[in-house]
């Protein structure tokens, strides 16, 4: 499971004195522990772990943008390194064409025809893609498909 792999990789990074990886994974482990406590479960499913990692990656992207705009390239570089560590644990992202195909299938299955159906289409697409699709891209494709 992904949760166990993160723990093993953290220990390996600590032994190798890889501070960027060990600090990033340590913070991620803390976030995962919070989710375990919140959900009152023993172990997290991979989908839950991926959700936490995606959230962390998004925070890093936002930080990189802010640091770059503020002229703090050294901090932006640090966030970039941390983001690369986290992205190793994410499944390969689907291409725009693949997402468009899934959106088309879901719209056909659900009979969605207007923007009122966007929520149900988004939920079904995200369930089918199982964390392998960028939420922003899915949202854009669903909007285009339902409005056009």
Instruction: From 16, 6, 99, 12, select the one nearest 53 (Cα to Cα).
Output: 6
User: Between the CA atoms of 79, 82, 84 and 86, what dihedral angle is there, to the nearest 10 degrees?
Assistant: -130
Q: Same domain for 71 and 104?
A: no
The reported pLDDT for the residue numbered 71 is 94
- 3-class DSSP state of 131: coil
- Expressed as residue numbers, the domain containing 24 is 2-87
Q: Same domain for 126 and 57?
A: no
CA distance 39 to 18: 31
pLDDT in tens, 38-73: 999 988 888 889 889 989 999 999 999 999 999 999
Percent of the chain with pLDDT over 90: 52
Separation in Å, CA 89 to CA 47, 65, 71, 123: 11, 22, 30, 23
Q: Same domain for 33 and 76?
A: yes
pLDDT in tens, 97-133: 888 999 989 888 888 888 888 888 888 888 888 767 8
Yes or no: say if 110 and 117 are a contact pair by the CB < 8 Å rule. yes
Higher pLDDT, 131 or 10: 10
Q: Same domain for 82 and 100?
A: no
What is the biggest distance separating any 2 CA atoms in the chain, rounded to whole angstroms? 55
The reported pLDDT for the residue numbered 24 is 96
Q: Same domain for 106 and 83?
A: no
Band of residue 88 on the pLDDT scale cut at 50, 70, 90: very high
The reported pLDDT for the residue numbered 62 is 95
Work out the average pLDDT over 73-91: 94
The reported pLDDT for the residue numbered 15 is 97
Q: Same domain for 74 and 100?
A: no
Yes or no: say if 60 and 77 are a contact pair by the CB < 8 Å rule. no
Q: Same domain for 14 and 46?
A: yes
The CATH number of whichever domain residue 129 belongs to comes to 1.10.10.410
In the chain, the number of structural domains is 2
Average of per-residue pLDDT values in the chain:
90
Q: Same domain for 54 and 12?
A: yes
């Amino acid at each position: 499971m992904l949760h166990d792999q993160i723990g093993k990789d953290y220990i390996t990074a600590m032994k190798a004195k890889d501070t960027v990886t060990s600090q990033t994974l340590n913070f991620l482990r803390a976030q995962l522990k919070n989710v375990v406590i919140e959900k009152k479960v023993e172990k997290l499913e991979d989908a839950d772990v991926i959700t936490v990692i995606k959230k962390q990656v998004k925070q890093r992207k936002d930080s990189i943008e802010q640091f770059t705009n503020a002229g703090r390239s050294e901090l932006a570089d640090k966030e970039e390194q941390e983001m690369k560590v986290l992205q190793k644990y994410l499944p390969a992202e689907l291409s725009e064409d693949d997402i468009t195909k899934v959106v088309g299938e879901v719209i056909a299955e659900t009979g969605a025809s207007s923007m009122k159906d966007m929520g149900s289409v988004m939920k079904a697409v995200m369930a089918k893609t199982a964390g392998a699709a960028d939420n922003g891209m899915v949202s854009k494709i669903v909007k285009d498909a339902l409005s056009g």
